[in-house]
Amino acid sequence: MRLETPVVYFHPGNSKIDSVNFAVAFKGGLLSQFYPNATAAAPATLMPISDKTVGSLTWTNIKLGGEAHGPKTDSHVWLAPRNVDAANVTASSGESERYLFYRGVGHLDSPLRVVRSGDRLNVQPQTKADGALLSQMPGSSMWYFDMRDDGRCAYTTFKDGLMDGTFSATVASFNTKWEDEHAYDRGNLQKLRTEMHAALARAGLFDDEAEAMLNTWEASYFKSPGARVFFIVPRSWTDEHLPIKLSVDADMQRVMVGRVDLITPAHREILAQLAATNGDLGKKEIFGLYHKLGRFAGPIVRDEANNTHRRRCRYWRLWLNNAAENALLVTPRPRPYDSSK
């Protein structure tokens, strides 16, 4: 699971509070990047990450307010969340920003899973406990979204309140095959954004915070081709897996969006084409098909390469050899984020 990327805004209003301590932990993962600088804690042995791993960050004596500005950057994902009427924050290190941010990587399951059955996607809880959490989700807080390469998209909103959360029960269902080809339209993107903005505001965000979230993840949410399910994460799940501590009493709203990217029948068709060649295609043709798998290529091919029969196929060996030649082992040691790089 990628934790990508919570931000924390402070709205002191007319209170006398001008500094706070803030801490967050990730149960089942590491908090691998953050800004401003914080004190990071992680297990002595970082790898492999398991559901027992706990990483944490602590910001001490954060100054609220003032004219301090964040680091210079032209990166959209760091500029977009600054467009919120919140207090600036300055860490004890002297680093400033409009918000605290952190990101990480975990080894735990989403509270829901998406199972394909023909043309339908059925959303189910992973466990009984997750079923109880999902039962707390209001209606109109889950969407199926499909973006094509040409920029046309279609989406469906699950409008009903979820069921009682019985384990293995389907709590939401989406039809992925639209009878009307005109269901795919560029204008649907703004309609989906408007719906998600309203849902984020209902869940507790201010309007400018909701807009900042959608703008920050515009590319990965809305403009990257592929099919995905979005959902408003139940607050109780967030509190359980990302517990936070604040040194002062405050009204805290915590709103997160979950995203499940889907392996589609089109991906499976490409795999079938590759398997049918049994090594007859050249390297250029093979990697042309591989490229069509997009960012799912690595996980799909690694999964299929575990199949003894397919491991013997030339295209699996070709991909695995190429991946080995270009592999970089990255250990996610907690570190501050340097926006200048």
Q: Tell me: the pLDDT tens digits for 25-38?
A: 999 999 989 999 99
Whole-angstrom distance, CA of residue 39 vs CA of residue 53: 17
Mean pLDDT score of the chain, rounded to an integer?
82
pTM score: 0.83
Check pLDDT > 50 for residue 308: no
Label each residue of 255-267 as H, E or C: CCEEEEECCCHHH
* DSSP structure class, residue 108: -
Selection from 50-54, 147-151, 287-291 with the highest mean pLDDT: 50-54
Q: Tell me: the pLDDT tens digits for 201-216?
A: 999 999 999 999 999 9
Domains of the chain by residue range: 2-107, 112-261, 265-321
Check pLDDT > 50 for residue 332: no
Report residue 160's pLDDT band, with 50, 70 and 90 as the boundaries.
low
Nearest to 259 by CA among 102, 114, 99: 114
Q: From residue 97, give the alpha-carbon distance in Å to each of 31, 64, 188.
A: 19, 10, 34
Q: Tell me: the pLDDT tens digits for 59-114?
A: 999 999 988 888 899 989 889 999 999 999 999 989 999 999 999 989 988 888 89
Q: Answer yes or no: are the C-beta atoms of 192 and 257 closer than 8 Å.
A: no
